[in-house]
């Protein structure tokens, strides 16, 4: 018997993936984007390509004002995209102006998982490096920063504690498809 494929999905609005679950957001957005032939954009990677510095190094080197200006400019570019999958750290989304601009034409899905599972994933991913207290401290700082997004409330959160990366990608794609179809029916 022939297997029925779901109807083709050509999204108009973007899907923003934020939050942190101990896995690679970039790998996740690439997996989702490949399924719908959409562009995959990563804010942190874009900053590194343009500025030759990480977001944190940029903040330490040039200060908060310069970093915020750069983030606003990049997020304005990303807001002009249509049908893209975007990986975004929590920091820019905590800025109300940036968040409002991005969410005009995007759906936001925040990843989360239990702390013990997140640490297990980080240990599996980084091995012996994870035993260094300064590396662990940096990871915990990063986790705290990403979890500030939850304080905003009223967000769509995906608990990935018991999900594989493939299941997470499939859920995110279903979330995107569902929201796009609901928008079209209005």
Cβ(27)–Cβ(165) below 8 Å: yes
Q: Considering only CA atoms, which of 42, 39, 11, 46 is closest in space to residue 174?
A: 11
The DSSP secondary structure of the chain, one letter per residue, reads -PPPPPPP---SSEEEEEE--SS-HHHHHHHHHHHHT--EEEHHHHHHHHHSS-HHHHHHHH-HHHHHHHHHHHHHHHHT-SS-EEE--HHHHHSHHHHHHHHTSEEEEEEE--HHHHHHHHHHHHGGGGGSHHHHHHHHHHHHHHHGGGGG-S-EEEE-TT--HHHHHHHHHHHHHHHHHHHHH-
Whole-number Å distance between alpha carbons of 19 and 156: 11
Give 3-27 pLDDT, tens digit per residue.
444 566 789 999 999 998 878 889 9
Q: Looking at residue 123, what is its pLDDT?
A: 85
Domains annotated on the chain, with CATH: 14-181 (3.40.50.300)
pLDDT at 169: 96
Mean pLDDT over all residues of the chain? 90
Q: Rounded to whole angstroms, what are the CA distances from 149 to 7, 106, 124, 154, 183?
A: 34, 16, 25, 10, 25
Provide the pLDDT for residue 8: 67
- Flag residues of the chain having pLDDT under 50: 1-5
Give tens-digit pLDDT for 141-168: 888 988 999 889 889 999 999 999 999 9
Q: Both tokens of residue 160?
A: 């990935």
Query: What is the reported pLDDT for 1?
Result: 44
């Amino acid at each position: 018997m022939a297997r029925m494929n779901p109807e083709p999905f050509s999204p108009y609005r973007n899907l923003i993936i934020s939050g942190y679950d101990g896995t690679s957001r970039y790998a996740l957005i690439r997996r989702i984007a490949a399924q719908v032939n959409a562009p995959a954009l990563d804010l942190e990677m874009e900053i590194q390509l343009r500025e030759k510095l990480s977001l944190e190094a940029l903040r330490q080197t040039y200060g908060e004002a310069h970093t915020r200006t750069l983030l606003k400019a990049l997020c304005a570019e990303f807001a002009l995209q249509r049908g893209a999958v975007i990986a975004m750290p929590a920091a820019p989304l905590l800025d109300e102006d940036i968040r409002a601009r991005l969410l005009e034409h995007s759906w936001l899905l925040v990843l989360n998982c239990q702390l013990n599972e997140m640490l297990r994933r980080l240990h599996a991913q980084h091995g012996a490096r994870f035993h260094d207290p300064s590396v662990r401290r940096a990871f915990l700082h990063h986790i705290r920063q990403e979890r500030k997004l939850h304080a905003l409330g009223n967000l769509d959160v995906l608990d990935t504690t018991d999900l594989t990366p493939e299941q997470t990608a499939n859920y995110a794609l279903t979330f995107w498809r569902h929201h796009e179809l609901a928008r079209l029916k209005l």
